[in-house]
Amino acid sequence: MSLPGAVTLVEVGPRDGLQGQKTVLSVEQRVALISSLAASGLSRIEAGSFVNPERIPAMRDTDQVLARLPATASVRYCALTPNMKGLDAALEAGVKEVAVFTGASETFTQKNIQCSIAQSLERFQPLIEKASQAGVLVRGYLSCTMGCPYEGKVALDQVASLAWELHQMGCYEISLGDTIGVGNPVRVRQLIEKITRQLSVEVLAAHFHDTYGLAMANLYAAMESGITIIDSAVAGLGGCPYAKGASGNVATEDVLFMLNGLGIETGVNMDRLLDVNTLVCSQGDFPNFSRTAKALLTARERF
Amino acid sequence: MSLPGAVTLVEVGPRDGLQGQKTVLSVEQRVALISSLAASGLSRIEAGSFVNPERIPAMRDTDQVLARLPATASVRYCALTPNMKGLDAALEAGVKEVAVFTGASETFTQKNIQCSIAQSLERFQPLIEKASQAGVLVRGYLSCTMGCPYEGKVALDQVASLAWELHQMGCYEISLGDTIGVGNPVRVRQLIEKITRQLSVEVLAAHFHDTYGLAMANLYAAMESGITIIDSAVAGLGGCPYAKGASGNVATEDVLFMLNGLGIETGVNMDRLLDVNTLVCSQGDFPNFSRTAKALLTARERF
């Protein structure tokens, strides 16, 4: 097993991190956050979500956020589009990538997006086709790949076949979510081994939550299995929606510290990222879940 | 690479975790803490330190703590003994294991124990001999094995030769400290590979700090390299002495969650450990650095 020479970090803080927050950032604040993330060298940023603002107020005015972002060839912004109405709004806003979201667990999918897994795929088919015709990339999120808060264990075969199906439907990339952070390095390896019997590892991204402190170990195992695309959120933004006060998305700073130590290229600057950490935590009075940021911001010792 | 079937957790919270705290726990509180840790199934517990109480008030009356602990064949308590006076007190208290402490970095050792590495070894020689004659095990701590807060990088050769020397002197076990948490999985693997050219991996323990969020990934790599002894502290007690507010010792709960997920035996009960977490955090109003404990205590969801 060897590690990759370079990894692409997909920053999900401005969407996955903010969407569940009680504090709703203004359009100006979200634009400042996303612009700073881009300035730190992140080349892919999930900038928002075209969802019902009544249901998720934190994602309101995603179109305005996107419209105010500086146009740059070095960053690709992505927006979550749960349905055709969302896609139309995203196309209108001119994003080059959208994302759809389903789960590997029936109960979770039902509670999260109010339909069965099969229904979610049916719903996505015309959406993916329309996006593709417009030259827009479609990312497929698959949640609960390591376990489900309602069903417990999720079968590897179920995850692998859904990943394959999403790819067949036109998703260029499948982001494997450990939504509740219950994965472990062996499970990660087994899952990737299973999925890559049908799909190239290059189409897979790791979207791991650090709820129980295992995200970094799991990401290391994922990289050993060939994964080169990692989702993370600055400051571990968002926490865990299923356990108040617990950590959720793995922190971008922590992932970057590990990648830097391993000599893996990312193009991301830690000092600038720490500035974003400070910015976003003060913007919404959000807790800082990044161990690296806490240590570096305090000690300012560099290794 | 295969993982071990069982791992021994060495609980260092009552010594390494408490020693730097401003809040000094009473003898009764320390006895309650250590007894609860033992009741959770931990078979090795670092119970205190025979140091100058003027310098480290939190370790005052370690003899009284040891005297009040329930005698049990299933738990081995250990006490840190920096010098002959400390050893005599430890022998008087009847412990079956003591520990000595040096570093792999000259500057750190000088600042931490006010002598050179060579001088520390000279000081330990008669101490180790006397302990051995009394039938007491001696553990050797080696700090800064992954990097030094003052010198930065530390050579693998330096660490390997010191580990060998401590073992030659009579230390039955060498605990490899990543004192400031700057290690990464590749460095861990390289270090263990280097040390085990001369020593069996069975004599090595991993004592990793989670300052930058890498301890769990590093422990996973250590286990892949054959390590079966892991030091950890309940609640990640103690934080980082070099970066206020940052995490220090890896949390026992997080390590246990990973080991449980991997099917590795420890004999430790998570529910009881969570009770200890609650106890110790309330005893000294200490922050809870364990991600697993935060998640489980909040959600009470089990996987």
Q: Convert B266-278 into a string of H (helix), E (strand) and C (coil).
A: CCCCHHHHHHHHH
Q: Which residues of chain B does A216 touch, with a Cβ-Cβ cutoff of 8 Å?
A: 213-214, 216-217
- Tell which of B178, B212, B227 to mutate to test the A interface (max A CBs under 10 Å): B212
The rounded radius of gyration (Å) of the Cα atoms in chain A is: 18
| pLDDT for res B299 | 67
- Best interface-test mutation with B: which of A253, A291, A296, A298 has the largest number of B CBs within 10 A? A291
Cα A124 to Cα A201: distance, rounded to the nearest angstrom: 23
Number of domains in chain A: 1
Q: Residue B126: what pLDDT? A: 97
**Do B182 and A261 count as a contact with CB atoms less than 8 A apart?**
yes
CB contact under 8 Å between A3 and B186, yes or no, is: yes
Q: Which of B78, B144, B171, B240 is catalytic?
A: B240
> ipTM score of the complex?
0.94
Q: Provide, rounded to the nearest whole percent, the portion of chain A with pLDDT above 70.
A: 98
CA atoms within 13 A on the CB side of B289: 31
Q: What is the pLDDT of residue A302?
A: 46
The three-class DSSP label of residue A147 is coil
**A152/B292 touch (CB, cutoff 8 Å), yes or no:** no
The confidence score (pLDDT) of residue B242 equals 75
Q: Are strands B229-232 and A137-143 parallel, antiparallel or unpaired?
A: unpaired
The mean pLDDT of A251-275, rounded to a whole number, is: 98
Residue A3 lies in a domain: no
Enclosing domain of residue A158 = 8-302
Show the low-confidence residues of chain B (pLDDT under 70). Answer: 1, 299-303
Q: Is the pLDDT of residue A276 over 80?
A: yes
Neighbours of A153 (CB within 10 A): 12
Angle between helices A252-261 and A291-299 in degrees, nearest 10: 80
Please return the burial class of A271, using the count of CB atoms within 10 Å of its CB with bins 0-12, 13-18 and 19+.
exposed
- Contact at 8 Å (CB) between A231 and A10? yes
Sole residue written with tokens 């897979």: A204
pLDDT of A175 higher than 70:
yes
Residue A114 domain-assigned (yes or no): yes
Strand partners, A143: A103
Rounded to whole angstroms, how far apart are CA atoms A43 and A78? 11
User: End-to-end CA distance of chain B, in Å?
Assistant: 26
Evaluated on CA atoms A242, A246, A250, A252, the torsion sign reads positive
pLDDT grade for A301, boundaries at 50, 70 and 90: very low
Show Cβ contacts of residue A268 under 8 Å, excluding neighbours closer than 6 positions: A9, A40, A41, A42, A252, A256
Q: Is residue B16 part of a domain?
A: yes
B3 lies in some domain = no
Q: What is the CATH number of the domain that holds B136?
A: 3.20.20.70
Residue A2 belongs to some domain of the structure: no
Among B181, B212, B295, select the one facing A211 at the smallest CB separation.
B295
- At A72 the pLDDT is 84
Residue B67 in any domain: the answer is yes
Is there a contact between B246 and A213 if contact means CB atoms under 8 Å apart? no
Domain assignment present for residue B2? The answer is: no
pTM of the predicted model as reported, rounded to 2 decimal places: 0.95
pLDDT, one tens digit per residue, over A131-170 is 999 999 999 999 999 999 899 999 999 999 999 999 999 9
Q: Are A25 and A283 in contact (CB under 8 A)?
A: yes
- Is the residue at A190 inside a domain? yes
